[in-house]
Structure 1
C-alpha cells in the first residue's frame, strides 16, 4: 500500500476510521486503527492533537501538522521515506493519520554495539557508549544507502528525534522513517543516530534531490507547507536546503545541542 501513495492517501483521508487499541509505549497518544474505503482496508496510526503533550521548545503548531509536513517534504524528494500521512478528523478529534508499516521480522539489524576500537566493515561509527561495569562499546549503524537518504531528509527537516526505533524496514525491503513530530524548528536542533557520514560530501543523487526541493519549496510544496508551519519555520527550511546545497556535505553535530536522542533506541 505504501508503494502506491495516491491510493493510500485517498484511503487515509476519506476512509472509515476504526480504533482497535492504544500504543502504550508512545509518549503521546497513538491509536492503532484500520481505515476502510470501497472495500479496501489498511492498518494505520491515528495521533489526535488532543493527545499531544505541550513542548516548551516547540511552542507553535502541533505534532500532527509537523508529521504531515514531513511526509510532504519526503514525497517531494521522490524517496518515499515517510509513509503516506494526512490530517483528518477521527473519534478523538483532528489528528494525524499515517499508514501503518509492518516491520520485516527477518530483516538485518541496522544498528549495533561493537568493539570500541573501531567499526566492522560495512558499519559506521556513531558514538562510544557506556555499557556498564566501566566498559564502553562503539554504537554503529550500517553504511546503507537507505539510511543515508534518511540522514539527508533529517537534515532538511531539522529532525530532533531520529532514534533507532524511528525507522522501519518493511517486508519489501523499503525503509521508512516515522515519528516526525519534533521537526522544522527554526534553530538548529538535529538530533539523530545517523552521524556516520558527518562531514562527508553528499552523494550526487542527494545534491540533485536538494536542487529539486529548493524549487519545490518556492512553488507548490511551499504552498502546501504554509498552513502547517510558521513563516519562520518555512523560511528556515528553505535556508537549510540552501546551506546543504552550498556546502555539499552532510552536517556535523552542533557543539551547543545534544547530538544523540535519548533514549537512543
Structure 2
C-alpha cells in the first residue's frame, strides 16, 4: 500500500454511502476524498457497537492495533486502518476497502488456490499472536491484485486466550524460521503505538502468546473442536 491510502484515510472528507449488511455492529461503506482523489473505505463507529460482556467499548481501537501490529511485523496482512474522531457518526475506525471478488473467502481460497497456502498459514499465525476470536471465512479476502488480506479485527487482543478461527488446516505445522524471527521481538516488548491501544493485561498476554509460539515452534492444534466462530462464513 502506498502513502496515498493513508493520506486519504487520515485527511480525506468522509461521506456515508451505505450500511454494510449482515454485520454484527453498525458498519458503513464510505467514500473518502481529497480534492480530485477519492476511494472507498469501511467505517466502524463506536456508536454502532453492540455491548459485549468480554470486550470494553471501543472495538475500533483493536482494528487499528491489528493493522499496526501487521505493519510492525512487515507482513501487511491488514488493510490500512486509522482512527477518525471527525467521522460522520463520531469516533471509529476507517479501513481501506479491498476491491475483490466477494464470492471468494477462506474456504474457497484454501481449496482453489494452493499457491497462497503460505500466506494463509501466516495469517493463522497472526491470529494466534493477536488472539483473534472471530476469524470467519469471509474475513479473508484476495484483492484483484492477488494479495491476501485479513479484515474485521475488532474482537482481538483479549487477555484471555479465546482463539476462534476457521483456519485450522495448518494446525501442528512448523512455523517457518523467518516468521519466528519476525515475531520474536514481541516477546520482549510490544510496539508502543500498539500497546497504547490495549490495556496492560492484554499487552502482557500478547507477549506470553509469542513466547509460547517461540518455545513450541508450531501452530496450535484445537483439541476441543470448539474454537470456531459462528457463522463460519
TM-score, length of structure 1 as denominator length: 0.80
Larger Rg: 1
Cα-to-partner distance string for 1:133-161 (whole Å, 9 max, x where unaligned) = xxxxxxx9957111111001001000001
The alignment status of 1:95 with 2:70, answered yes or no, reads no
Higher helix share: 2
Give the alignment of 1:1-265 within 5 angstroms. 3-4=1-2, 6-58=3-55, 60-89=56-85, 90-104=87-101, 110-111=106-107, 144-214=117-187, 217=190, 221=191, 223-253=192-222, 255=224, 258-265=226-233
Q: Deviations over 1:70-94 (max 9, x none)?
A: 1111111111100000111211000
Are the aligned partners of 1:77 and 1:212 in contact in 2 as well (CA < 8 Å)? no
In 2, distance between residues paired with 1:233 and 1:254?
A: 24
* More strand, by proportion: 1
Q: How many Å apart are 1:199 and its aligned residue?
A: 1.6
In structure 1, list runs of 5 or more residues that go unmatched.
Answer: 113-121, 124-139
> What CA deviation, in whole Å up to 9, does each residue of 1:182-240 have, x standing for no partner?
000111111111111112211122112112444662xxx2x112331111001111111
The two structures have a TM-score, normalised by structure 2, of 0.91
Count of aligned pairs: 230
Per the alignment, residue 134 of structure 1 pairs with none
**Mind listing any 5+ residue stretches in structure 2 that lack a counterpart?**
none
